[in-house]
Amino acid sequence: MKISTIILAAGKGTRMRSKYPKVLHPIAGEPMAWHIIQAVKEFSDELPTVVVGYKAEEVKDSLGDNAHFVLQNEQKGTAHAVQQAEDLLKGNSDIVVVLLGDMPLIKGQTLKALTETQKNNTGPVSMLTVLSENPRGFGRISRNKKGQVEAIIEEADCTSEQLKINELNVSVYCFQADWLWDNLENIPVSSKGEFYLTDIIKVATDKGLNVHAEAISDPQEAIGINSRVHLSEAERIMRRRINQTWMEAGVSIIDPQTTYIHTNVKIGQDTTIYPNTHLQGNTIIGEDCEIGPNTTINNTCIGNNCKIISSVLEYAKVENHVDIGPFGHLRKGAHLADGVHMGNYGEIKNSYIGPGTKIGHFSYLGDTTTGKNVNIGAGTITGNYDGVNKNKTEIADDVFIGSDTMLIAPVKIGKGARPGAGSVVNKDVGEGEVVVGMPARAIRRRKDNSE
C-alpha cells in the first residue's frame, strides 16, 4: 500500500512571538519540522508534502529536498490546508497521513502502527487521541453511549460539559485516500469562518462510517508547540531521549540533566561525557574519549582516546590520542593529528598541527602547518594577518620554538630550527638554525655550513 503524508505548516505561530516561522524553531539542533520528516521516513518511502504559507521561502530553504511543498496563500483552516495538496497527491496513494508541523516529539513507530490499523479499518479514518488532564487548548473527542467517536469539538466551540472531556485530539490522522479527497469539500465552515479538518470526523460518522480513534501510549509524543514554554518542554524531553539512546549504546553520561547532545551527533563506545557539555551539529566523537566538563563541540570530528576539558571546538578535526584544555579553542579548519597536546589557553584556526606536536600554554596559531613533534613554546603567536591578507606560517618537523616567540607570516621555519625565547621572526629560518632577537637574527647555523 502506498502511503503519502501531509504536514501542515502554513500558520504563523503567533504565540511564539517570533520573526521566524514556528516550524523552523530548533529542537535538539534541528528545526521542529525536520524531526517530523524523520519520523515519516519510518513508515513511508514517499517524501512528505509540507503545506507552507507564512514565510514559505524560509521554510522551503531550510527543509530543502527532504520534502515536497505546496503553498497555502491564505490560512483558511486545517482542512483548507490539506486541500492544497490534493492536486499533487490525488490518485497517487492508498493512504494519506495528515499531521502538524509543530509536533516534533511524535515517533515514527507510533505513526507506523496507526497506518497498520488503518489498513485493517473498514472505515475511512484512524486517528490518535491523548488522555490528559491538561487540555492545552486541544479539541475534545466526543463519543456516543457505545463509546464510538462522533465528532471532534474545538475548545472554543465546547459546552461547559464538553470542556471536561479528557480525551483530546492529537491531530494525527490516517485516511483512506480516495475518501479524503472526495469528502474534504463536504466540511462545513466553522464558527470562525475557517474549514477545520477536525470536522471531517463528523462527516464520516454522519454517514455511519467507522472512525477508529486510539489513545497514544506516551502522552509526551502528543505535545504540540504553540509557545516558547512548550518549546523548552519539548527540548527537555528530546534531550532525555537522546541521552538515553547514547547510554544504551555504551556511552557514559555523568549527568544527563546537564548534557546537551544534538540529534545528529554520533558518539563511540566507552566514551564518557562530563557535565555541562554541549555536542552540536554533525559532531562525531570516537571511542574511549573523555569529553568535558564545560565543553562545547560544534560540527567537529574527534578520533579515539581523546581528552577534551573546558574547551570550545568548532568545525575542527581531531585525530586519536589528542588532549585539549583546559580553555582551548579550536576554530574552523583546525586539524590536530595523532598525539597532539594542547594545554591551557591555546587557540588554533585553519591550521594543520602534525603528530606529537605540543602547544602547552597561551598560544595562537592561525593559517599554519606544523610537522611532527614540534614544540610550540608558551606564549607563541603567529602574526598571520597583515591587515589585508591572511598569510601562512610553515613549521617543519622537530622545530623547537622558544617561549613568547612571534612568527610574522608569511614565514617558514626549517626542520629542527630553534627560534629563541622572545624572538620576532619575520624572515625564513633555515634547517637547524638558531635565531634570537627582534627581528630575529641567526646566532648559529647548521653544523655542516657553520663558520
Q: Which residues bind ligand UD1 (CB under 6 A)?
A: 8-11, 51, 72, 75-78, 80-81, 100-102, 137-139, 152, 154, 168-169, 171, 196-198, 224
Nearer to ligand UD1, 197 or 261 (CB): 197
**Which triple of cell numbers denotes residue 317?**
578535526
Please indicate whether residue 361 is annotated as part of the active site. Answer: yes
Nearer to ligand UD1, 81 or 353 (CB): 81
Kindly state the smallest distance separating residue 193's Cβ from ligand UD1, in Å.
11
Nearer to ligand UD1, 152 or 234 (CB): 152
Kindly state the smallest distance separating residue 253's Cβ from ligand UD1, in Å.
32
The length of the chain in residues reads 451
Kindly state the smallest distance separating residue 156's Cβ from ligand UD1, in Å.
9
Nearer to Ca ion, 48 or 224 (CB): 224
Question: Where would I find the H helices in 278-428?
Answer: none
Residue 370 near residue 399, CB atoms below 8 Å:
yes
Kindly state the smallest distance separating residue 241's Cβ from ligand UD1, in Å.
20
Residue 106 near residue 124, CB atoms below 8 Å:
no
Kindly state the smallest distance separating residue 82's Cβ from ligand UD1, in Å.
9
Torsion angle of C-alpha atoms 216, 221, 222, 224, degrees rounded to 10: -170
**Which triple of cell numbers denotes residue 289?**
574519549
Please give the backbone phi and psi of residue 221, each rounded to the nearest 5 degrees, phi first: -65, -25
Question: Where would I find the H helices in 28-159?
Answer: 32-41, 56-63, 78-83, 86-89, 108-119
Question: Where would I find the H helices in 154-283?
Answer: 160-163, 177-183, 200-206, 228-248
Please give the Cα distance from 93 to 37 (Å, whole number). Answer: 18
Query: What track of x and - describes contact with Ca ion for positions 189 through 228 (by CB under 5 A)?
Result: -----------------------------------x----
Buried b (16+ CB within 10 A) or exposed e, 41-50: eebbebbbbb
Interaction partner, residue 81 (Ca ion, ligand UD1, none; CB < 5-8 Å by kind): ligand UD1
Kindly state the smallest distance separating residue 129's Cβ from ligand UD1, in Å.
9
Nearer to ligand UD1, 101 or 124 (CB): 101
Please give the Cα distance from 353 to 236 (Å, whole number). Answer: 38
356 binds Ca ion (CB under 5 A): no
Residue 69 near residue 87, CB atoms below 8 Å:
no
Nearer to Ca ion, 13 or 360 (CB): 13
Q: How many chain residues touch Ca ion (CB under 5 A)?
A: 1
Query: What track of x and - describes contact with Ca ion for positions 73 through 102 (by CB under 5 A)?
Result: ------------------------------
β-pairing, 277-280 vs 295-298, is parallel
Q: Which residues bind Ca ion (CB under 5 A)?
A: 224
- Give the catalytic positions in this structure: 361
